């Protein structure tokens, strides 16, 4: 199984962002743990970018993957372009958020990804990512 793990804007800054929302780990810490958990069960490709168009292009070039785990960061709440790119993807899409976007500001309740997601893991800090991977490895 080939899984693309996409992280959008500001997720490269984990470790420096508000720990109450996002936890204390860096993205590198999280990715290392994901790699360990996937071992020889899945091939993980990590893509982190702050730019919307680059994320769109990456999705377009990855339509042959079996699954995408995506934390689109703020683009979750704004990006019709990422929604439309994901709409072409035939595999499983797992949505991830470290914080509980449903219990924060009302603008975070707007979500362009949720309707395309097979499953969403929200508000469990780094465990949201680990649960997303576990879900794909077991389903």
The catalytic residues are 22, 97
The nearer residue to ligand DQA, 64 or 115, going by C-beta atoms, is 115
71 binds ligand DQA (CB under 6 A): yes
Rounded Cα distance, 41 and 69, in Å: 16
Question: Which of these ranges, 50-58, 78-86, 91-99, 129-137, lies near ligand DQA under the rule CB under 6 A?
Answer: 91-99
Chain centroid to Cα 114, Å, comes to 11
Rounded Cα distance, 80 and 110, in Å: 11
Rounded Cα distance, 128 and 121, in Å: 5
Site for ligand DQA (CB under 6 A): which residue of 52, 55, 68, 73? 73
Pairing of strands 119-122, 43-48: unpaired
The nearer residue to ligand DQA, 71 or 79, going by C-beta atoms, is 71
User: Site residues (CB under 6 A) for ligand DQA?
Assistant: 10, 71, 73-74, 76, 97-99, 101, 108
């Amino acid at each position: 199984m080939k899984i693309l793990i996409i992280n959008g804007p500001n997720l490269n800054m984990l470790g420096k962002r508000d720990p109450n929302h996002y936890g204390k780990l860096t993205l590198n810490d999280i990715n290392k743990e994901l790699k360990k958990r996937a071992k020889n069960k899945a091939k993980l490709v990590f893509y982190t970018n702050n730019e919307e168009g680059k994320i769109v292009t990456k999705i377009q070039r990855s339509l042959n993957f079996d699954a995408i785990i995506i934390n689109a960061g703020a683009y979750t709440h704004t990006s019709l372009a990422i929604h439309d790119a994901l709409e072409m993807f035939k595999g499983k899409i797992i949505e991830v958020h470290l914080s509980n976007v449903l219990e924060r500001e009302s603008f975070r309740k707007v979500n362009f990804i949720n309707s395309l997601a097979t499953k969403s893991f929200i508000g469990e800090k780094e465990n949201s990512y680990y649960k997303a991977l576990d879900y794909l490895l077991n389903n």
